[in-house]
């Protein structure tokens, strides 16, 4: 049986993880804690893993944001600048399931998904503390 591969979001990475010149403030050596994937508003966002929806909130910079927790290892995945989140806090989302749509909310230079990944954290209610951000580029592909 051939395995299929899907992506968290269909689009092109326009800003990688790490040091960059900020696209809005133009600040040199601004650290980017995720990757930006350019995509039209309404693009389906798929879960990279089986996870629980931990937080859904609006942030002045990140706009509509959802945080999910990997049920296998407690890692955290963040999705910002969304148009909508389709599942409530506490819902279980299966790997490759549609759970949100991309948007252009918050402080944004255009429609895209900001996608982040963190590991090693401790969950206190719906907040993850003492976690370490990692480059999420290898987590964009969903291997089924």
- The predicted structure's pLDDT at residue 65: 96
pLDDT tens figures, 31-88: 889 999 999 999 999 999 999 999 999 999 999 999 999 999 999 999 999 999 999 9
Pairing of strands 112-119, 141-143: unpaired
Domains and their CATH numbers in the chain: 5-143 (2.70.70.10)
CA-based nearest residue to 54, from 122, 102, 105? 122
- pTM, two decimals, is 0.90
Rounded CA-CA distance 97/79 in Å is: 14
pLDDT tens figures, 126-136: 777 789 999 99
Q: Which two tokens stand for residue 102?
A: 């991309």
Taken in order 11, 12, 17, 19, the sign of the CA dihedral is negative
pLDDT tens figures, 101-117: 999 999 888 999 999 99
Contacts of 53 (CB under 8 A, 6+ apart): 66, 67, 68, 85, 87, 88, 89, 90, 91, 92, 93, 99
Q: How many CB atoms lie within 10 A of CB 24?
A: 10
Rounded CA-CA distance 81/102 in Å is: 7
- The predicted structure's pLDDT at residue 84: 98
3-state secondary structure 41-79: CCCEEECCCCEEEEEEEEECCCEEEEEEEECCCCCEEEE
**Position 3 pLDDT exceeds 70:** no
Can you tell me the mean pLDDT for 2-20? Answer: 85
């Amino acid at each position: 049986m051939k395995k299929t591969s899907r992506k968290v979001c269909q689009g092109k990475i326009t800003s990688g993880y790490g040091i960059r010149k900020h696209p809005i403030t133009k600040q040199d050596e601004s650290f980017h804690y995720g990757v930006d994937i350019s995509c039209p508003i309404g693009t389906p966002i798929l879960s990279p893993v089986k996870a629980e929806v931990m937080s859904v909130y609006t942030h002045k910079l990140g706009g509509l944001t959802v945080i999910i927790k990997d049920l296998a290892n407690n890692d955290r995945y963040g999705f910002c600048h969304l148009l909508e989140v389709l599942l409530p806090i506490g819902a279980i989302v299966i790997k490759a399931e549609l759970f949100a749509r991309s948007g252009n909310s918050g402080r944004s230079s255009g429609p895209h998904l900001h996608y982040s990944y963190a590991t090693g954290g401790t969950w206190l209610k719906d907040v993850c503390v003492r976690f370490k951000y990692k480059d999420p580029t290898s987590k964009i592909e969903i291997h089924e």
